[in-house]
Amino acid sequence: MKKLLTGALAAVLSVSLCTPLVYAKDNVETKTLKKSNSGNPMLGFDENGDILYGGDPSVLVDGDTVYCYVGHDTSSNESYWMPDWRCYSSKDMKNWTYESKIMNSSDIKGGNNHEAWAGQVAKGSDGKYYFYYCTQFSDGKGVGVGVSDSPTGPFKDVNQKPLVSNSQTANSVHSWEDIDPTVWVETDENGVEHRYLGWGNTRFFVCELNEDMISIKDQDGNPDNLSVGYGKGNDIVIGKINNLQGHTYTEAPWYYRQKDENGNYYGKYYMFFACDWREQMAYATTDDIMSNEWEFGGIIMEPSATANTNHMAVFDFKGQTYFVYHDGSLPYGSGYRRVACCEPFTINEDGTIDPIKKTATGLTGTASQITDSDGNYISHKSFVNTLLDADYPITGKALQVDFYKDGEESSWEINPGKSSKKDEYVSIESNNKPGLYITAQDPKNGVITPVLSQDVKGTTAEAESMTFRTLKGFNGSGVTFESVKYPGYYLTSKNGVLSMTQDPSDKDATFFVSTDTEIKSGKARKTKRMYTVGEELKTNDIRIQLYLETGKTVKITDYTTNADKIDMTTTGKKTLKVTYEYNGEKKTDNIQITVVDSAYKKK
């Protein structure tokens, strides 16, 4: 989703507390930086483009369209309040359309108006769509099913009762054990369709559904009673994960299996799930989904920097595997005001999965690095998202400037300003800690110490503290960043310290953004430029070297030419066009080629 929503919430929460814009430097000129077309958050908007929080994302791929469903978060405090479920769609995983409200939790018999917990939609062989959801019933949390003729709803509570609820899975440790349904439908090698439904918090369960998709298949010969236990033969099989030492299964199971180039499933079944607290993402595998006995694969995603829970959807679309999850990276976000995000990933040939890193850029954004006049990188000091609630929300993390810190801690996303959409306003988000921004703290003794923080309250003051006015670099090139909350304070790098001061030297206040660095000189060059009639025009001797305003050089090796369009059968001067891309902009250099007859070259 393009970050067109930044500042929208802050704008309505309070009147600006910013002092009048009185700039310390005379005759400054603004400079517009390129903004990232950010991919994360992926969703987070309603039909009017206003902020809409929604967590527990699930996905249905139906033909050429991906549908994503979320439980709508409307909480104004640190507790859950989710009145309904919402639906979005995309045909390319880059551009998303808000579709509809598919169901209210109050529409469910025995339900209430604020517990739209996780759900997943599956398409039945009858062409109908089945929404497996969880909510509060009279005897605790339970899993129900809604039916619709359309993937965008509305869904109707078809059974008027839960498929399974807390009273039917005996010996539970709490009343919310029966939540977070996941469904898997496939046809086996004998042409028989199987429909598996999994769910569970603390413990996890699986059953097989009947062909009607709304009832549980009898496995023990007693259709009048649901048997629950370990091992096949029970109607509901309790799960077990081997080699889970050091971790605990928490919730949010999601079934997945790989597809070959013909769209046929193969290999082991995967169950992705949330483990531990704060929740990390993990996976396990099995050869027999109904055995519900799994082998632990490993942790694949660290706890979120902005939310205490997580919930994934894993699926394939147009040859790519995706991992959709939620965090609290919108303004005023948290584990109770969540938003869906997405990362691509691959499964290794041996079936293992490497850790998946959260990013602010997602599928469509562009990461930048910011250096000072001496080539030192602005980065945040490395830190781990811990499992301790006491360490959140994350605010006040230290920043640094260091020539050698050019790794993921120095990766930033240049976004439109959180306090205003003016062209010359930006907010700088950490790419590897999404939802955390470079933030101006209050001045002390005429100096501001910038830090990395989340906009926890979503206020105007917070938005202004995370917004900078971009000016033409005071040193004659690059860019200078001025605080919007504290006009006249400029980002400064001096003696290895990053600060914000009122009267910095031009050099100390000048920075360079990698995605906005200007080319001072350089172009495409070719070693051989004279050919005889009929000779092949080769392009493997083209070299492109650009000299940047930072003093660095960049070599471009990816380019295209019009060599195949040039007539080499006639003599004369020809124009070889070399096209390449730098910082998202296409550039074309012309190289003159001379074609002569063979007699000329013999002279």
Per-residue pLDDT tens digits for 250-269: 999 999 999 998 889 999 99
pLDDT in tens, 119-134: 999 999 999 999 999 9
Domains of the chain, earliest start first: 22-35+365-516 (2.80.10.50), 104-313 (2.115.10.20), 519-602 (2.60.40)
Confidence band of 10 (pLDDT split at 50, 70, 90): very low
Residue 467's pLDDT is what?
A: 98
pLDDT over 90 (residue 320): yes
pLDDT over 70 (residue 334): yes
pLDDT in tens, 434-488: 999 999 999 999 999 999 999 999 999 999 999 999 999 999 999 999 999 999 9
Spatial distance between the Cα atoms of 594 and 600, rounded to a whole number of angstroms? 12
Q: Which helix (H) or strand (E) holds 554?
A: strand 553-556
pLDDT in tens, 502-537: 999 999 999 999 999 888 899 999 999 999 999 999
pLDDT over 70 (residue 571): yes
Q: Which helix (H) or strand (E) holds 12?
A: helix 8-13
Residue 602's pLDDT is what?
A: 61
What is the maximum span of the chain, computed from C-alpha positions, in angstroms?
Answer: 102
Confidence band of 601 (pLDDT split at 50, 70, 90): low
Average pLDDT of the segment spanning 533-549: 94
Confidence band of 20 (pLDDT split at 50, 70, 90): very low
Q: How many residues does the chain have?
A: 603
pLDDT in tens, 80-126: 999 999 999 999 999 999 999 999 999 999 889 999 999 999 999 99
Return mean pLDDT, the chain: 93
Between 518 and 324, name the one with better pLDDT.
324
Spatial distance between the Cα atoms of 252 and 283, rounded to a whole number of angstroms? 11
First vs last Cα of the chain: how many Å apart? 64
Average pLDDT of the segment spanning 422-438: 98
Average pLDDT of the segment spanning 285-304: 98
pLDDT in tens, 173-196: 888 999 999 999 999 989 999 999
Q: Which two tokens stand for residue 409?
A: 């801690």
Q: Which two tokens stand for residue 3?
A: 């970050």
Spatial distance between the Cα atoms of 66 and 119, rounded to a whole number of angstroms? 16
Buried b (16+ CB within 10 A) or exposed e, 149-183: eebbbebebbeeebbbbbebbeebeeebbbbbbbb
Nearest Cα to Cα of residue 471 among 509, 440, 437, 430 = 509
Nearest Cα to Cα of residue 474 among 22, 31, 35 = 31
Between the alpha carbon of residue 330 and those of residues 93, 336, 389, 415, 576, the distances in Å are 20, 11, 19, 13, 48
pTM of structure: 0.90
Backbone phi, then psi, for 410, in 5-degree steps? -100, 15
Spatial distance between the Cα atoms of 375 and 405, rounded to a whole number of angstroms? 11
pLDDT over 50 (residue 213): yes
Spatial distance between the Cα atoms of 493 and 511, rounded to a whole number of angstroms? 9
Structural contact between residues 200 and 180, judged by C-beta atoms closer than 8 angstroms: yes
Average pLDDT of the segment spanning 42-56: 97
Structural contact between residues 578 and 602, judged by C-beta atoms closer than 8 angstroms: no
The three-state DSSP-derived secondary structure of 130-156 is: EEEEEEEECCEEEEEEEEECCCCCCCE
Spatial distance between the Cα atoms of 81 and 90, rounded to a whole number of angstroms? 27
Residue 456's pLDDT is what?
A: 96
